[in-house]
Amino acid sequence: MKAALQTLTLGLLLSTSLQAGQTDFGGGSAGARWLNINTSVRSAGMGGGTSALSGLDTQSLNPAGLASLGGAQASLGHSILVQDASLEHLGAGYSPMAGTGAALGFDYVRMGTVDGFTVDSTNALVPVSYSPYAYALNLGAGHDFGMGVAGGLNLKYINQNLDGTGASTFAADLGAQYKLEGTGFTGAASISDLGGTLSGSSLASLIRIGGAYAFGEELPLTLAADLAFDRSYSSSQQLRIGGEYIVQNALGLRAGYHYDGADQTASGVSFGAGIKYDWLNVDYAMTVVPNAISSLHQISLTATLP
């Protein structure tokens, strides 16, 4: 009966497709697909193809981006998923020296309330109610090794409780970036959620290969794209492309598109905007998937100290 309740929980939440670097919660044999939800609101607004960008919010996408951290940063994010499910994100980062950055992150997923049943000692059905949840604690660092090459490592502790019984494991994300000197181009590669199993299933590990091009101050436009592969099943190629245009160094306008080769009905567009005022950034993103129950809305606040 416990297995039946867990299946019901997954059916309510995890069967809904939320791509664009968010995730496809269905398909494949891997577990804990909520780990692939994009906690970077800037990235979400650009379609999710941002493994070649840098900053605090790259910790899970590509920890090599932490090498470009400047000073200290702290962020708080909230994502409205499907039905009454939500994701909360806390992050903090610090650069102890030029070319080196470290970050700590915490993600908490609330999956609403699930009504199910169990069997008592008399074999009678007894209604029960659970509030599934999951969380991940991240500790990452990135370093610039010179010659345009940066690398990063993100370690995480993962805990998931779907039916009143918890399960936990450890995993790691690895990433690298290469900045082509004299140009605005950056190439990147990363792999997420290596190692560990959760409730008998391997984690939903993603391989990302991407690039970004920043045109410079005269044209404050950045274009970025990723090709992502889900290691749990072969037909999972996902193309994520997008861009960001900065107006007066204060307003960022973003848009993106994501294509899912495994489920083309889960493809869709993303839009976003960010406002910068002194040391504070406010970012918003909306991901529209035509066949999903609802659109995904995300908002974050980021404070930067010198």
CATH number of the domain to which 115 belongs: 2.40.160.60
pTM of the complete model: 0.86
H or E segment to which residue 45 belongs: helix 41-45
Contacts of 236 (CB under 8 A, 6+ apart): 24, 27, 28, 228, 229, 230, 260, 261, 262
Instruction: Please count the other Cβ atoms lying within 10 Å of the Cβ belonging to residue 188.
Output: 28
Total number of domains in the chain = 1
- Check if the beta carbon of residue 53 is closer than 8 Å to that of residue 212: yes
For tokens 């959760």, the residue is 198
Half-sphere exposure of 74 (CA within 13 A, CB side): 2
pLDDT for the residue 89: 97
Nearest C-alpha neighbor of 281 from the set 52, 91, 63, 105: 91
pLDDT for the residue 5: 35
pLDDT for the residue 115: 74
pLDDT for the residue 129: 77
Please give the Cα distance from 232 to 203 (Å, whole number).
Answer: 8
pLDDT in single tens digits along all 306 residues of the chain = 343 333 333 333 443 334 333 333 334 456 788 898 999 999 999 999 999 999 999 999 999 999 999 889 999 999 998 778 899 999 999 999 999 999 999 999 998 877 777 777 777 787 777 789 999 999 999 999 999 999 999 999 999 998 778 899 999 999 999 999 999 999 999 999 998 888 888 898 999 999 999 998 889 999 999 999 988 766 578 999 999 999 999 999 999 999 987 766 668 899 999 999 999 999 999 998 776 656 889 999 999 987
Query: Residue 157's domain spans which residues?
Result: 2-305
Q: What 3-state class would DSSP assign to 83?
A: coil
Residues in the chain: 306
